[in-house]
Structure 1
Amino acid sequence: MTISATQMLVVTAVLLLLPSPGSAKDSNDTVPLVLWHGMGDSCCNPLSMGSIKKMVEEDVPGIYVLSLMIGQSIIQDTENGFFKDVNEQVAFVCNQLAQDPKLKDGYNAMGFSQGGQFLRAVAQRCPSPPMKNLISVGGQQQGVYGLPRCPGETSHICDWIRKKLNSGAYTDMVQKHLVQAQYWHDPLNDDLYKKHSVFLADINQERVLNETYKKNLMALEKFVMVKFLQDTVVDPRGTEWFGFLKTGQAVETETLQESALYTEDRLGLAQMDKAGKLVFLESDGDHLQFTREWFTAKLLPYLH
C-alpha cells in the first residue's frame, strides 16, 4: 500500500509519541538545538516538527530548542520551503542565530530533508555562533535528480514543480524562484549544473574553492548523516550520505568516498572522515520515518 507524505508525517509523529525510556541530562549543562524542517512542512506542525521539539525537550530537560520559521507565519514558512531563494533563507537564518543570546556559546543543528543541506550551508557560511554537531536527517547533500513523491502531496504544486524542473531547471527564472531547482543535480548536464546552480554548486565547491567553507565545515565536532533505506521521496537515496549518480549517466551511483568531492577533498570531508567526524546512520523506513526509540538511541547522543 502506498502512503502519502502527509500520512508519513502522521505515522512518524505517532511513533515519536510512543513511550520511551529516554535519557535525561542535567539542565545546567545542555547545548541548544536548532531545527530546520523539510519541504512541505513548517516549524511548528504538531504532527512533525512540533512533536520532535517536544520530544527533545522531554528527553533533555532544560534544553533550548529553536525550530526555525522562515517568514512571519506558518503559512509563509511552508510556502518559502518551495519558493524562497535558498541563499536568502540561509542569510535570514544566519542573522537570526547571530542575534539569539541563547546560542552565543554554540549549538547543535538538526535538519530534516532539505533542511539538512540548508543547515550545512549555515555551518559553512556562518561560523558565529559556532555549530557543534550537524545532524542531517534524510538531507540531500548532493542534491536530487528526480522528485518522485513531492512531500505535502499538494498535487498541483508538485506537478508544476516537476514540469519546471524538467523543462529548464537551470534557467535564471527557475533557479531564482524554485527551491528544488537550487539543489537539482543533473548528471547528464554537468556543465550546466556547475555554471547555473545558484546554491548547491556553490556550497559543494563545484566552481571555485572557498577555503572558508572548508575551514568552517571542518570545525564541526560531528557531521551525522541519516539515510532512509526505503526512501521513496529522495532520488537517488545515496545523496543522503553524500553519494550521487556518476557524471554523464543516470544509472550507476558512487559513494562519497568514490567521488571527486572526497578524493580532491574540496570540503574537507576526507579529513573529517579520517578524524572520525563523519557519522553514517541508516533507518529501515521511508523518508523521515523512524521510531522514538530509534531517535533516542541513534541521534540523542549527539545532542549533548
Structure 2
Amino acid sequence: MTLVVLWFLLVAPMMLVASRPAQDSINGTVPLVMWHGMGDNCCNPLSMGGMKKMIEQEIPGIYVLSLMIGSNIVQDTTNGFFMNVNEQVSLVCSQLARDPHLKGGYNAMGFSQGAQFLRAVAQRCPSPPMKTYISVGGQQQGVYGLPRCPGESSHICDMIRKALNTEAYTDVVQKHLVQAQYWHDPLNDDLYKKHSLFLADINQERVVNETYKKNLQTLDKFVMVKFLHDTVVDPVDSEWFGFLKTGQAKETETLQESILYKEDRLGLAAMDKAGKLIFLATEGDHLQFTREWFNANLLPYLR
C-alpha cells in the first residue's frame, strides 16, 4: 500500500488550516476549504495534512484551509463524534466569513461525514460563495448502519453502534452524538423526519426551505465520489444521494428515483438537467484512492 493511499484511508474527519503564502487573488487560483471525516483531524500528515500538502504541490500558490473544529487536534477529533453538527456548521460559516482570502469565493471538498457538513455550509451560508463542491465518500442521504468506524475494536465505536441501534432519535443522542444526526432509518420514517436535527433539515424532509434550494443551485458543480467497495458507508448508494426505499431495509433507489428529486425539493433535478451534478466512481474501500486517480478526476475541478 502506498503512502498516498494511506493518506486517503485516514482522510475522514479534519479541519481548516491556512496555507502560506495566500496569493490567490494574484495568481488566479481558487481557494480550497476541506473538512475531514469521522475519527480524523485537520492536520494529520498521513491524511488531511498530507492531502493539503499534495494539493499545494499540484496547484502552486493555492490557499488551502483544512478545517479544525476546536482549538487543537484532540478537540478536532473528539468533536467529530460528540459536537452538535448544527453548531459545527455555524462555527465554520463564521470562520469562512471572516477569512479575507475567501471573500471572492472558494471551492470545497468534504471527506466522509465532512462532505454533508460542507453541503450544509453551501445551503445555509452563501457568503462567501462556494463555487465547486466535491463530496468524497459523503453520506448525502445519511446512513443506516455503521459496519466499521476508525478504531473498530475501541469502546467509542461500540458505544456509538449501540446508541444508533436503540436510541438514535432521542433528544439526548441527537444533540450529543454526531453520527445520530445523519442516521436515516427507513423503517421509522416518521421518527426520522420529526427528530433528525441535521440531515432531515438540510435534505428538506419536513418543509421546503427555498433559501436552501436557491443557495445550493448557485454552485458551478456538485461532484459526488462513490467508493464501489466501501465497507464503512451503509448503504453505499448514499454517496450518490441514493438510499434505501422507505419502509424496508433491503432495496435501494437512486437519487433520480427519489421523491427528493422528483419533487425537486432541493433543486437537484434542475442542477442535473443543467449538467451541474457529476457522479464519479472508483474501486477501493472508503476514501481509498491513489494520487494518480485524484489528479485525473478531481484536481481539474480545483483549478
**TM-score between the two structures when normalised by the length of structure 2:** 0.93
Q: 1:193 to 1:99 in 2, by over 3 A?
A: same
The answer to whether the aligner puts 1:13 opposite 2:7 as a matched pair is: yes
- SS of 2:230's partner is coil
Superimposed CA distance per residue, residues 36-56 of structure 1 (whole angstroms, 9 cap, x where no aligned partner): 000000000111001100000
Superimposed CA distance per residue, residues 15-71 of structure 1 (whole angstroms, 9 cap, x where no aligned partner): 99xxxxxxxx99711000000000000000111001100000000000000000000
What does residue 21 of structure 1 align with?
none
What does residue 74 of structure 1 align with?
73
What does residue 134 of structure 2 align with?
135
What does residue 15 of structure 2 align with?
none
What does residue 51 of structure 1 align with?
50
Q: Aligned equivalents of 1:261 and 1:172: distance in 2?
A: 26
Deviation at 1:150, TM superposition (A): 1.1
Q: Aligned equivalents of 2:190 and 2:3: distance in 1?
A: 37
Alignment of 1:247-286 (within 5 A): 247-286=246-285
Aligned residues with identical type, % of pairs: 80
The answer to whether the aligner puts 1:204 opposite 2:203 as a matched pair is: yes
Alignment of 1:96-135 (within 5 A): 96-135=95-134
- SS of 1:57's partner is helix
What does residue 84 of structure 2 align with?
85
What does residue 170 of structure 2 align with?
171
Q: 1:204 to 1:63 in 2, by over 3 A?
A: same
Q: Aligned equivalents of 1:154 and 1:250: distance in 2?
A: 26
Deviation at 1:155, TM superposition (A): 1.6
- SS of 2:281's partner is strand
In the TM superposition, structure 1's runs of 4+ consecutive aligned residues that sit over 6 Å from their partners are 7-10
Q: Cα RMSD between the aligned structures? A: 1.9
Whichever residue aligns with residue 225 of structure 1, its letter is M
Q: Aligned equivalents of 2:78 and 2:153: distance in 1?
A: 12
Check conservation: 2:8, 2:289, Cα contact below 8 A: no
Whichever residue aligns with residue 61 of structure 1, its letter is P
Q: Aligned equivalents of 2:182 and 2:227: distance in 1?
A: 19
What does residue 224 of structure 2 align with?
225
Deviation at 1:167, TM superposition (A): 1.2
Superimposed CA distance per residue, residues 238-281 of structure 1 (whole angstroms, 9 cap, x where no aligned partner): 00000000000000000000000000000000000000000000
What does residue 36 of structure 2 align with?
37
Whichever residue aligns with residue 166 of structure 1, its letter is N
Check conservation: 2:5, 2:291, Cα contact below 8 A: no
Alignment of 1:148-167 (within 5 A): 148-153=147-152, 155-167=154-166
Q: Aligned equivalents of 2:41 and 2:9: distance in 1?
A: 19
What does residue 194 of structure 2 align with?
195
Deviation at 1:11, TM superposition (A): 3.9
What does residue 20 of structure 1 align with?
none
Q: Aligned equivalents of 1:175 and 1:15: distance in 2?
A: 27
Superimposed CA distance per residue, residues 282-303 of structure 1 (whole angstroms, 9 cap, x where no aligned partner): 1100000000000000000000
Deviation at 1:151, TM superposition (A): 2.2
Q: Aligned equivalents of 2:135 and 2:118: distance in 1?
A: 8
- SS of 2:131's partner is strand
